[in-house]
Amino acid sequence: MVPKRLTLAAMPSAAETLKGTDAFQDRMIGVVRSIQDEIIGALETMEGECGGNARFKSDVWERPDGGGGLTRVLSGGVFLEKAGVSVSAVHGELDTEFAAHLPGDGASFFATGVSLVLHPYSPHVPTAHANFRYIEQGGKAWIGGGGDLTPYYFHADDKEHFHGAWRELCARHPDVADYERFRDWCERYFHLGHRAEHRGVGGIFFDNLFVSEKDEAHREKAVAFLSEGGRAFLEAYAPIARRRLHEPVTPEQRDWQEIRRGRYVEFNLVHDRGTAFGLKTGGRTESILMSLPPRAKWVYDHEPEPGTPEAALLEELRRPVPEEES
């Protein structure tokens, strides 16, 4: 069944829609909603600092087969041309064929998470993505997520700052996280093999990190790591955005930004597991595809002139891919 968007008159509160079937599921919903609120508050503050008055609009939706979500989107801002920060909590039965590709067991599932994508107006400010999720399938449960940075112009200090925030997050949670492993995982995951290019300068990515209900200490460490991820994203991204926001923008730079956004679209539609999971489990299409930029273009066989800042970005994006873990 197709998820339905609710009219204002029929719209329940997010609390009524975002419910689990036990206390721990409700707790995890609370974790991802707190991340959503914190990040939106910071982004609206930055929008105001730029002289803009755009704000996130809320859209509550229900999944007829179980659960729903709260999608919050900002469009046409001074800082953010388009941004989405979405929370969902869905449950029910998986398609048998799809269930076989997941690390759990059986067909019953529960999933809650927060996903965000920021598309700034200025090509000097990178696009950014992050998500943090908790999933149950049958008798198994796991967490996944991470964050990555997609610049249009490469700055080594921006890359170092972004990675530094994730490195520090992982160092604070050594029993759950491994920065070097998660960094390399991100390098392999956010790679467009058909282009032989990375999507951006990386970050961290982790998936299928099992959470043991029988080991409460381990479960608490996993929850702490996931819940701190939202704060780490702001520490990683906000300083970069602030120092690049006011650089002058030319039409040629905007054109380059739209060409590179085309690569972003390609990754999300061809490779992204979150997109596939949402569509396969009957999620709301508008919320799943909120990650796509407002404007993008595809120019046949485009290659920038050697020695230009645009060529320097491609040199960075065509770096080697780390080998698979043994």
Q: Which residues are catalytic?
A: 129
Beta strands in the chain (DSSP E): 4-5, 57-62, 67-75, 80-93, 108-120, 127-137, 140-150, 191-192, 197-198, 202-210
- Amino acid (1-letter code) at residue 289: L
- Rounded distance, CA 33 to CA 14, Å? 10
- Rounded distance, CA 116 to CA 182, Å? 19
Answer for the pair 313, 151: CB distance below 8 angstroms, yes or no. Answer: yes
* Residue 253, beta-bridge partner list: none
Q: 268: Cβ–Cβ under 8 A, 6 or more apart, which residues?
A: 275, 289, 291, 292
- Rounded distance, CA 184 to CA 170, Å? 14
Give the Cα-Cα-Cα angle 201, 202, 203 (nearest 5 degrees): 130
> 3-class SS at 133?
strand
- Rounded distance, CA 117 to CA 148, Å? 10
> 3-class SS at 301?
coil
Cα 114 to its chain centre, rounded Å, is 8
* Residue 117, beta-bridge partner list: 84, 129
